[in-house]
Amino acid sequence: MDLHFTKDEPAPDERDALDAVLGTPESGWRGGIRDAATDTRQVDGGRVLRERRHLLLPALHALQGRRGWISPGGLNYVCARLGVPPAEAHGVASFYAMFATTERPATVVHVCDDVACSPRGAEELCRELERRCGPPGSAVGGHGTWQRSPCLGLCERGPAAFVQQAGRGREDASLAPASADALEAVLRGRDVPPRPGEGSVPQKGDPELRLLARVDVADPGSLDDYRAHGGYRALRRALHVGAAEVLRELHDSRLAGRGGAAFPAGVKWKAVAEAPARPHYLICNADESEPGTFKDRVLMEQDPFAVVEAMTIAGFAIGAERGFLYVRGEYPEATRRLAHAIAEARQRGFLGPSILERGFSFEIEIRRGAGAYICGEETALMESIEGRRGEPRNKPPFPVHVGLFGKPTAINNVETLVNVLEVIAHGGEAYAGRGTPASTGTKLFCLSGCVEIPGVYEVHFGATLGELIALGGGVRGGRPLQAVLLGGAAGAFVGPADLDMPLTLEGARERGATLGSGVVLVFDDTVDLKPLLARIAAFFRDESCGQCVPCRVGTVRQEEALARLLAPGADVLKEQALLADLEQVMKDASICGLGQTASGAIQSAIRRLGVFGGRA
């Protein structure tokens, strides 16, 4: 391919940052200094270069992390190294919210103003920060700037902030709970204060815990401590009984995926294992971006070896030798903990060639997302790994047949994979004995909002919504309950009359709701739900990838209709009818789940709670 570049050249530190990721250039044709004696008119590339395109996202992160933005010269160097057309690379860089293609300060503070942090003082924090430091986007003291952000996955500690810090030796960090004093200090050049590492699991130490048994108990940085608390027993058993038996146990467990779709994990793994095309791939979807969700972050930060072990078992069962762990970009601590766990496992023989000398080889590569909610959709995530814009693919074909790099691929989220450890350690039938026949095992719920003790809770499928809220100490201050948002922004609102609802897949469906990713966001009678609905609409408008018209246009029109409803003198019935029409079009015609669910929470609030004083 004949690539044409602008005249912009990379700065020396940009070259250094990229060479650390990509290695030194092989020739002058690939970004090195042109040598007429060795670099002739013949250029090698083609297939070799195409196979390196998946390094585009890590390369863009290297540029962003070194200088705080992706300069034209730096982008030219990436394109020369990977053989990617500059227009395509710019399209990828401009797709992700964490990347900047225009110069900005080296420190950027993202302050969450989404639905989970809102009842915990996010709006007051933003107003105070604006009073002290100027409106979002203002340069502060020559060091930093700040902006509002969607959910950062720190809902149990809200209000939350995420700090991007560029420069050699600087790392991104999270801050929660965040205060105006701390954020102003960071913006003016101070270090980010450490975030407490524990306290997200109020049930800590409960002997009934399964998935959370090691959280806040075992040292997340110690492989020996992980093994002392039962780690790697499941992998040893899997290697002993064989891949076919692992698949049988998973089928017997009736484990449903925990990412929202609830697809049977055993069916998915069996389809990949039996696919004739090779190689097979495994992906752990850790791009946990649904507003109000933080369970996977807690598992990754506090039990990272469990994620690594579960991925290894999955790779063994489906016949994959390579797995990708796609971690949300706003989860810097989880990324560091996982990288350490992978390195330790490899050093001790639990990853790499011939694991535990059993002849099975498996490797895990981390891919860090860059701020795109749509990449939680499985095929958009695959496009992102492959170095492209995170836009969903049409299905069929499904990933089990044509997935990552066009090969059979199994993709599960963190909670689903960690459940596999329980299945293999205790047997599929024993696992299925917990919960209900249609919803087996235990489930993690992200309880936040107006509750006394927010956090991640593990309960058997079948516990009621009221019982879960009671575990969290009830509604904050003893105030009356107004509503609960189940499943996040893509979920649905329920009211006080639904406290007896069993938290099962079938129980939620019967009430016209969904468990989704496990969000249980509680609102008391002091919260005005109308602006929260507008925030949900703004979220979907901003996060739509724009690929299909029903979602790209529908989310904009939905936000506009809600803005008119919030204005004085609104024609409520007219706007509700328009919102209902938009819901039907987006649900019927959108390519992926983002557009299909973008109106769910809004419509449930209108129809179930009568938020705008009428029924659609």
* CA 408 to each of CA 69, 113, 374, 403, 415: distance values in angstroms, whole numbers, following the listed order: 36, 39, 21, 5, 22
**Domain-located, residue 101:** no
Same-domain check for residues 518 and 536: no
Tens digit of pLDDT for each residue in 496-505? Answer: 999 999 999 9
The CATH number assigned to the domain holding 159 equals: 3.40.30.10
Q: Which of 134, 169, 187 is the last residue of a domain?
A: 187
Task: Give kind and range of the element (H or E) at residue 390.
Answer: none
Tens digit of pLDDT for each residue in 133-143? Answer: 999 999 998 88
C-alpha closest to that of 371 among 126, 64, 86, 122: 64
**Domain-located, residue 17:** yes
Same-domain check for residues 259 and 406: yes
**Domain-located, residue 135:** yes
Give me the pLDDT at residue 32, please.
61
Same-domain check for residues 236 and 354: yes
Q: With a cut of 80, say whether residue 172 has pLDDT above it.
A: yes
Domain with 172, as residue range(s), is 107-187
| Mean pLDDT of all residues in 580-588 | 97
C-alpha closest to that of 484 among 56, 71, 115: 115
Same-domain check for residues 373 and 499: no
Name residue 284's amino acid: C
- C-alpha 52/C-alpha 396 separation (Å) is 26
Q: Which of 397, 414, 432 is the last residue of a domain?
A: 432
Burial category of 237 from C-beta neighbours within 10 Å (exposed 0-12, middle 13-18, buried 19 and up): middle
Q: Which of 398, 432, 466 is the last residue of a domain?
A: 432
| Mean pLDDT of all residues in 76-85 | 94
Q: Return the minimum-mean-pLDDT range out of 255-264, 320-329, 370-379.
A: 255-264
Tens digit of pLDDT for each residue in 525-558? Answer: 999 999 999 999 999 999 999 999 999 999 999 9
The CATH number assigned to the domain holding 591 equals: 1.20.1440.230
Q: With a cut of 60, say whether residue 367 has pLDDT above it.
A: yes
- C-alpha 133/C-alpha 389 separation (Å) is 34
Same-domain check for residues 456 and 593: no
Q: How far is CA 586 from the centre of its chain?
A: 23
Same-domain check for residues 54 and 36: yes
Give me the pLDDT at residue 194, please.
85
**Domain-located, residue 76:** yes
Q: With a cut of 60, say whether residue 614 has pLDDT above it.
A: no
**Domain-located, residue 100:** no
Same-domain check for residues 177 and 236: no
The CATH number assigned to the domain holding 513 equals: 3.10.20.600
Q: Return the minimum-mean-pLDDT range out of 141-150, 295-304, 342-351, 364-373.
A: 141-150
Tens digit of pLDDT for each residue in 20-52? Answer: 999 988 766 566 655 555 555 555 566 777 789
The CATH number assigned to the domain holding 411 equals: 3.40.50.11540
| Mean pLDDT of all residues in 68-87 | 96
Q: Return the minimum-mean-pLDDT range out of 21-30, 284-293, 320-329.
A: 21-30
**Domain-located, residue 338:** yes
Give me the pLDDT at residue 37, please.
57
Same-domain check for residues 553 and 469: no
Segments of 450-570 assigned E as strands: 455-460, 481-486, 492-494, 519-524
Total count of domains within the chain? 5
Tens digit of pLDDT for each residue in 181-224? Answer: 999 999 999 999 887 767 899 999 999 999 999 999 999 999 99
Same-domain check for residues 422 and 342: yes
- Write down the mean pLDDT value for the chain: 94
Same-domain check for residues 118 and 72: no
**Domain-located, residue 146:** yes
Give me the pLDDT at residue 137, please.
95
Same-domain check for residues 458 and 410: no
Q: For residue 41, report the phi and psi dihedrals to the nearest 5 degrees.
A: -75, -15
Question: Is 57 within 8 Å of 371 (Cβ atoms)?
Answer: no
Name residue 565's amino acid: L
| Mean pLDDT of all residues in 572-582 | 96
| Mean pLDDT of all residues in 463-485 | 98
Give me the pLDDT at residue 567, please.
95
C-alpha closest to that of 216 among 303, 338, 334: 303
Same-domain check for residues 297 and 367: yes
Q: With a cut of 50, say whether residue 616 has pLDDT above it.
A: no
**Domain-located, residue 115:** yes
* CA 7 to each of CA 4, 77, 99, 205: distance values in angstroms, whole numbers, following the listed order: 10, 11, 22, 61
